[in-house]
Amino acid sequence: MKELGVIGLGVMGRNLVLNLGDKGIRVSVYNKTKEKMYDFIKDEVKGQSVLGFDSLEEFVSSLERPRKILLMIKAGEAVDSMIGQLLPLLEKGDLILDGGNTHFKDTAGRVDFLKGKGIHYIGLGVSGGEEGARNGPSLMPGGSKEAYFLVEDILLSIAAKTDSGPCCTLVGEGAAGHFVKMVHNGIEYAMMEGIAESYDIMRKILKLSPVEISEVFENWNEGELNSYLIEITGKILKYKEKGTERFMVDLILDKAGQKGTGKWTAESAFDLGIPAPTLSTAVEARVLSFFKEERQFLSKRFNRNYPKLEYGKDEVIRNLRESLLFVFFNAFVQGLWVIQGASKEYGYQVQLSEVLRIWKGGCIIRAQLLDFLREILQELDGEKLILKSDKALKYLMDRIEAIKEVTRLAKDFYIPVFAHNTALDFFFSMMEENLPANLIQAQRDFFGAHTFQRVDREGTFHINWE
């Protein structure tokens, strides 16, 4: 009998199965397109205990009870349809896991629906792409403890390992796993945008070649900025098209795609009323990038009056490094705040420091900074807003002049830096006792009688302003 069933043999599914097999876990697989399943078993399975089935009935019967089935299929209707096909074949106490990038609200609905049928359900965030799935992803399961314990050993064995243990923990109740994975992606978008802005400044203002910028990123990766995204950026920038001297990055059209998880993070932040401007602006920047034709047309009509660069190259690069740390730090502050808000709203009971721990390896946003953030959270002792820690404030204050310089420089040279600007404005706003929201309240009351509160008296007020 097999310990785990996996449905869906796309890139992620196939690599996870091979990873499971390497850890000695006996796996049954099923795929809608039978040929793909046969090819996989024939060509890729080498010595692992993996068996393929072309009927769902036989696939389910091959599994030990309680059955554990991992869905690695496209998020959305396909998941509901598969659950519908599986239900008549399952028994009370069996478990389904969804390892896709599913919207957390869909997962919440499925948890409830299946609970009524006695079937456990885990929304499993999986990060690390192809490579991570094969050699150790970061796993973010969410659901009941009872459900998690059924697969804990399996998940721990395939997860990435760091000096803080395997990158897997039950992140919380209900749809917490998919929520945390979604925010992981929101932070991923912000970090990528911040990196892209540094690159843009280096190529346009410092006029560095891709390989020179690659060296800067390689150097940054040796220090505090050490992270997967900085590492791959270094590799990307020096990559030349095979057989030519052309840098691949220069040949790629500047339209950034997206599958939706960044947008969902921004939407969730709005829904929860938590400010996450650096995460949402990164989505905005990708959307804007798609207007290539308009940008081409307009760029020819915009006269730029470039100033003389007043700093040396090394100074600019130093400032860029410090500002990028400022951006990364704020992206994490905002993302963790959103998770905290959701945990409260939906009763997830997420342990933020555990989330940071399992992001240390395997996932796309793994970064040295995570250890520092964990240290801060541990010291805050229950208070979750990282900015309230003296250590966090010092860290940001130490970099404030650098990011002020970088945003100023970007403006002088007409370069958009959404992530840098919002990180700085988020920080300024959070450090400001008096925001101009009083005027906005007055305007709302003027035209819509929306009322306002006063600083000197309790109550709700309205004025006839004219």
Query: 426 near 277, Cβ under 8 Å?
Result: yes
Respond yes or no: is residue 466 known to be catalytic. Answer: no
Catalytic residue among 2, 3, 68, 188: 188
Q: Does position 259 bind ligand 6PG by CB under 6 A?
A: yes
Query: Which stretch, 26-34, 121-129, 247-255, 409-417, contacts ligand 6PG (CB under 6 A)?
Result: 121-129
Query: Which stretch, 127-135, 155-163, 305-313, 421-429, contacts ligand 6PG (CB under 6 A)?
Result: 127-135
Whether omega for the bond prior to residue 277 falls within 30 degrees of 0, making it cis, is no
Q: Which of 10, 66, 129, 275 binds ligand 6PG (CB under 6 A)?
A: 129
For the range 384-387, what are the long-range contacts, defined as Cβ-Cβ under 8 Å and sequence gap of 24 or more?
Answer: 384/336, 384/337, 384/340, 384/352, 385/333, 385/337, 386/332, 386/333, 386/336, 386/337, 387/333, 387/427, 387/430
Q: How near is the Cβ of 130 to ligand 6PG at its closest, in Å?
A: 9
Q: Burial, 221: exposed, middle or buried (Cβ in 10 Å; 0-12, 13-18, 19+)?
A: buried
Q: How near is the Cβ of 161 to ligand 6PG at its closest, in Å?
A: 17
How far CA 18 is from CA of 68, 69, 152, 456, in Å, comes to 17, 16, 18, 66
Q: Does position 127 bind ligand 6PG by CB under 6 A?
A: yes
Question: What's the rounded Cα separation, in Å, for the pair 180 and 338?
Answer: 9
Q: Does position 254 bind ligand 6PG by CB under 6 A?
A: no
Question: What's the rounded Cα separation, in Å, for the pair 251 and 236?
Answer: 12
For residues 73 to 102, the per-residue mask of contacts with ligand 6PG, x marking binding by CB under 6 A and - elsewhere, is: ----------------------------x-
Nearer to ligand 6PG, 107 or 407 (CB): 107
Helix (H, G, I), strand (E, B) or coil at 4: strand
Q: How many residues bind ligand 6PG (CB under 6 A)?
A: 13
Respond yes or no: is residue 197 known to be catalytic. Answer: no
Q: Does position 221 bind ligand 6PG by CB under 6 A?
A: no
CA 163, 377, 353, 422 torsion: positive or negative?
Answer: negative
Phi-psi region of 391 (alpha: psi -120 to 50; beta: other; left: phi over 0): alpha
Nearer to ligand 6PG, 32 or 259 (CB): 259
Instruction: State the distance between the two ends of the chain, measured CA to CA, in whole angstroms.
Output: 80
Question: What's the rounded Cα separation, in Å, for the pair 388 and 313?
Answer: 35
Nearer to ligand 6PG, 258 or 368 (CB): 258
Question: What's the rounded Cα separation, in Å, for the pair 95 and 67?
Answer: 6
Q: Does position 324 bind ligand 6PG by CB under 6 A?
A: no
Q: Which of residues 359-388 bind ligand 6PG (CB under 6 A)?
A: 363-364
Catalytic residue among 181, 238, 263, 360: 181
Q: Which of 19, 214, 227, 261 binds ligand 6PG (CB under 6 A)?
A: 261
Nearer to ligand 6PG, 116 or 257 (CB): 257
Helix (H, G, I), strand (E, B) or coil at 149: helix
Residues forming the site for ligand 6PG (CB under 6 A): 101, 127-129, 185, 188, 257-259, 261-262, 363-364
Report the catalytic residues.
181, 188
